[in-house]
């Protein structure tokens, strides 16, 4: 693997606080990503927005508007995390699918790949730019567009289980599972739209817990303990 897309869920960024940012968690992520860039990996990052807002959680306001707030939440997350990455010594650039003035660069495949080739860690904020999608779907879309070798899914949970381990103490973790089985068994590692996009475009996924010691580095160095999703 040379080029990977790292998806950080908003929930994982918030650490134990469950909302906003946990700075220590973000610095830990930055230090791991720096090690990987020093080893020559090209890294693109997508962050979720659930630590601030999820469109589907509002029953009051119009869904399109609620989703726009969600997309802006991911822009805030990416600006914050990219600044933490700069603090840790990396060059970064944040891309959005819509114009955000001077805050971000407008996404194009060529500009994103050029930034990776320059040695920058790049961020894809704002999801797909459209309502009724998730950041998971935005992440797979961008991974496919930049021709990433795999998508790394860093979650608050350490892999894919056959049932919810918070509810069922007997739940079993998969070491490896096909994306078809994830869909058939409704395991919701990523949402259905993102799963189908992964399957159709043969984008493998590595799912692991962000809070495990050095989990991003271990995932890339072969001592991976999460779930590998094959295509
Ligand atoms: N969102 C959207 N279109 C996209 C990506 C995200 O409308 O292409 C909105 C949607 O409202 C979603 C919110 O942004 O609920 C935050 O993203 P998500 O819930 O996927 O974050 P996560 O659950 O991974 O923290």
User: Distance, CA 217 to ligand 1 centroid (Å)?
Assistant: 26
pLDDT in tens, 113-130: 999 999 999 999 999 999
Which residues, other chains included, contact 176 with Cβ-Cβ below 8 Å and sequence gap of 6+?
Answer: 227, 228, 229, 230
Q: Which domains does the chain have, with CATH numbers?
A: 3-230 (3.40.1160.10)
Q: Are 216 and 209 in contact (CB under 8 A)?
A: no
pLDDT at 211: 85
Q: Ligand 1 centre from 40 Cα, in Å?
A: 30
Q: Give the 3-state DSSP-derived string for the chain, with helices as H, strands as E and coil as C.
A: CCEEEEEECHHHHCHHHCCCCCHHHHHHHHHHHHHHHHCCCEEEEEECCCCCCCHHHCCCCCHHHHHHHHHHHHHHHHHHHHHHHHHCCCCEEEEECCCCCCCCEECCHHHHHHHHHCCCEEEECCCCCCCCCCHHHHHHHHHHHCCCCEEEEEECCCCCECCCCCCCCCCCECCEEEHHHHHHCCCCCCCHHHHHHHHHCCCCEEEEECCCCCHHHHHHCCCCCCEEEEC
Please report the ipTM that was assigned to this predicted complex.
0.94
Best residue among 11, 25, 65, 70 to mutate for probing ligand 1, ranked by most atoms within 8 Å of CB: 70
Retrieve residue 85's tokens.
Answer: 């990455």
Q: Cα 23 to chain center, whole Å?
A: 17
Nearest residue CA, atom 3 of ligand 1? 133
Q: Which pLDDT belongs to residue 174? A: 97
The answer to whether 204 and 230 are in contact (CB under 8 A) is yes
pLDDT band for 215, please (50, 70, 90 cuts): very high
Question: Rounded to the nearest whole angstrom, what is the distance from the C-alpha of residue 214 to the centroid of ligand 1?
Answer: 26
Residue nearest to atom 21 of ligand 1 (CA): 48
Cβ–Cβ < 8 Å for 173, 155: no
The pLDDT tens digits of the residues spanning 24-65 come to 999 999 999 999 999 999 999 999 998 998 888 788 999 999
Query: Can you tell me the mean pLDDT for 66-87?
Result: 96
Tell me the percentage of the chain whose pLDDT exceeds 90: 84
- The CB-side HSE value for 53 (13 A sphere, CA atoms) comes to 19
Spatial contact of 220 and 6, defined as CB atoms under 8 Å apart? no
What confidence category does residue 192 fall into, taking pLDDT thresholds of 50, 70 and 90?
Answer: very high
């Amino acid at each position: 693997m040379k080029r990977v897309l790292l998806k950080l869920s908003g929930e994982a960024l918030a650490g134990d606080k469950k909302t906003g940012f946990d700075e220590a968690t973000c610095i830990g992520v930055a230090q791991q990503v720096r090690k990987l860039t020093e080893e020559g990996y090209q890294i693109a990052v997508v962050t979720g927005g659930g630590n601030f807002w999820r469109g589907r959680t509002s029953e009051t306001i119009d869904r399109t508007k609620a989703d726009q707030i969600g997309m802006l939440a991911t822009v805030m997350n990416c600006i914050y995390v990219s600044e933490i990455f700069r603090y840790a010594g990396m060059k970064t650039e944040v891309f959005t699918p819509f114009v955000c003035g001077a805050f971000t660069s407008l996404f194009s495949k060529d500009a994103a790949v050029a930034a990776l080739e320059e040695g920058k860690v790049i961020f894809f904020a704002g999801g797909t730019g459209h309502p009724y999608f998730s950041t998971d779907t935005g992440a797979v879309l961008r991974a496919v567009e930049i021709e990433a070798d795999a998508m790394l899914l860093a979650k608050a949970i350490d892999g894919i289980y056959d049932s919810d381990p918070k509810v069922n103490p007997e739940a079993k973790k998969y070491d490896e599972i096909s994306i078809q089985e994830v869909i058939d068994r409704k395991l919701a590692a990523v949402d259905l739209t993102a799963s189908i996009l992964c399957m159709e475009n043969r984008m493998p996924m590595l799912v692991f817990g962000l809070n495990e010691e050095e989990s991003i580095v271990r995932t890339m160095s072969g001592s991976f303990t999460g779930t590998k999703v094959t295509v």
